[in-house]
Structure 1
Amino acid sequence: MMEGRPRRRPPLWLFLLVLLAAVSIWAWRLRSGAPAGETEAHLAAGPQFEDPVRLVFETAGDSIVVVSTATGYTIVHPVHDLASTLRVKDVARNAMLLAPSRSLHEPPERFGLVPPQHRLRLVAPSGAVWSIAMGDSSAVGSEVYAQLGELGSPVVLIREFTARHYFAPDVDALRDPTALPLSSPVIDSLHVIVSGASLRARRLAADHWEAIEPAGIGLDPLPINRVLRELRGPGMTGFDANLTPADAGLDPPRARW
């Protein structure tokens, strides 16, 4: 019987390469201050911030302030307008679920955090404040350097989408997109003015509208009902603070319902 070939041992250079890689990973974790598998989830906002009474989105030289009201939320600076309750809830939810991927015990000045590019402050009904400052984007990966709380806390890395979309939105993203929805459940009459001409009509049935003034005009119920359906939840897609009513064709308006 033939003797088996002796096993070949891995070359010494391969063993040294694996050892060097392990040491490099250990040194990186030690420098980052985050042991394997550790996150900074405890830095997330607590349950008391689920319904904040005040939100301040600070950016270079300005801020957006949103406050809680009896009926929802209102933007009080730099404009006065209804805020989207759904968007505010999304901000609070992402703050409560925040789980940074790494912490870095290095000077915040290196990461655009002194001063920060953006800062979010949430005020709970109890008066407690939770804040996060955001700086530069990381060179690798879709993350942003951030600092929880005030100066002195460690620098962490958070998802860039969360930081930009929820924690640093512009004022338009916070506005309530529904403008003056119709509160009446049933519309039984209407008055339309277009270019000086006037039409008054009343509803006789769901698919039957009768012209009152001028009388005797046949009315198609389909476009009328379509307009009324749109008016129950008009959606705004954009806001131009520099546009005047006259430039927008609203002074005088081209049509009024």
Structure 2
Amino acid sequence: MSKLIVHQFPCLSDNYGYLLHDPETGATGAIDTPEVAPILKALEEKGWTLTHILNTHHHFDHAGGNLELKEKTGCTIIGPKGEAPRIPGIDIALGDGDICEFGSRKAQVLEVGGHTLGHIAYYFPQDGIAFVGDTLFALGCGRIFEGTAEQMWGSLQKLMGLPDETVVYCAHEYTQANARFAATIEPANEALQARIKEIDAKRAEGKPTVPTTIGLEKATNPFLRPMSEEVQKTLNLVGAPLVDVFAETRARKDSF
């Protein structure tokens, strides 16, 4: 069976658009709809016909292009059950543990609220890929706009439970800024320091730092490392509950 094809391209100022294509059936999905023109251009360049939109959450830079794309293509819009009234044009609402039917594939839906209350991620186990919206970033996590630190930490733990080799597609190019913050939280992390050099080299050449992997994030992302002794010492929270360490890390990033 052919693997799903992911086509990544820039949208807006720092978003990424993704087209997901199933060669077996021709099904083509837009993961969120940050900007219509680049999505249509990418479809034309690839010679694909949009059949689905897979929304992760309701924010405008993720669902703002839904109605125009649906009008132009007749595609089916899938989105989070917990935010269905706020997802323009939604046809199918899915929640935690549901299965998203896409071409010849079945994606597992993970509820990963915190950034928004009903945020979901799509995990395709056959292909080892996950689309996580604004819950997890390369070396970062989403700002907690609607949920709580407890909810967000639970969501991140859910993603951490995926296989280490899972390729993670997040929605923004925030990595270089995230790296500067990460270095203040766990400066002696050698894997992190090596990664920062790679990130700076990629950005100097105008290359994306996304996608990442679950394993790489677990080794270097401070938001996934509240169990690290160095992180706890930096935050003066040695032995504290992990959710408290996470919450303090998020609070410091908010004002970094």
What's the TM-score bracket when you normalise by the shorter of the two chains? under 0.3
**Between structures 1 and 2, the one with greater strand share:** 1
Quick check: which has more Rg, 1 or 2? Answer: 1
Which has the bigger relative contact order, CA under 8 A and spacing at least 6? Answer: 1
TM-score (norm 2): 0.24
**Between structures 1 and 2, the one with greater helix share:** 2
TM-score (norm 1): 0.24
